[in-house]
Structure 1
Amino acid sequence: MSLLTLLPFIVLIGAMFLMTRSAKKKQQQAIEMRNQMQPGSGVRTIGGMYATVKEVSEDTVLLDAGPGVELLFAKNSIGAVLTDEEYNRIVHGIEHDLQSDADVVPDDASSLTETDDSSDAAADSDDTPVDLGKKDAEDEPADATADARAKKSDGDSDAK
């Protein structure tokens, strides 16, 4: 037999070896993670339930899922042991302030448009209010109102 005919079998056996090796590593990491569980740790089960560990025994874990709700799970059913910050964020909605030293962005844009004190003083000296509303009909002179009515006519009034 030539080496060329054995090459596909060698590659296949090598790929199977690598896949089983990575699967064994993942299983070992999961076992170590489950062995590190302690009472008070936040966990997520493989079914997606979040709870706090109350007691840990050889093969089982007693979980506290809420006031008066204690559940007994197999140790294998624990999908992840969560950090305190992650558990509080998911279960209680408490966000950990990761950017406490960073600049705070205000809720409104007024502080973003402020300028230095010299231009504020110049703006404050001109205290004339700006009226952006419509003028009332009584404020306009009578001639202007008549002109406006004449301009609005479309010329069809004389056609009758």
Structure 2
Amino acid sequence: MFNYATKELEKLGAIHTTLEIKQQPKVWLEAFDNYMSYKKEIDAFLAQVKSETRDRVRVIFTGAGTSCYVGDTVTPYLNQHGDSGFIYESVATTDIVGSPLDYLRPDDWTILVSFARSGNSPESVAAVEIANQVVKNIRHISITCAQDGLLAKAA
């Protein structure tokens, strides 16, 4: 598909997907640079949360569709190689919204990591709001492509 002309991609309805795929190397480098520029703050945040409890902290990765897939992808790796002070899980926002008490435990220290492209999807915002109501000790990390999305404000 990278060898097709723009007109051919448009005709196939593949122009947007192709452009998204082509930009991935640049986007991942930008994401890594962002992470590195905030690494001290992130490490301090995680250390603070861990210091507040003797129990392991649940980290729930959540999102809808391909955003949920991000959590599905990183969870197995982190469970094998991540900080043992955390328990890593991946739960779709639609599952949290549809049946919160099946996935959220009121007494467990929890970090809800929300992945969302726009940060404005109703189920992502609702998952954060419900988590805030159910879990006594909850912290949030929102990872979006739009820093002004509603998700950041809900957390």
The TM tier, using the shorter chain, reads under 0.3
Normalising by structure 1, what TM-score? Answer: 0.23
Higher Rg of the two aligned structures: 1
Structure with the higher helix share, 1 or 2: 2
Normalising by structure 2, what TM-score? Answer: 0.23
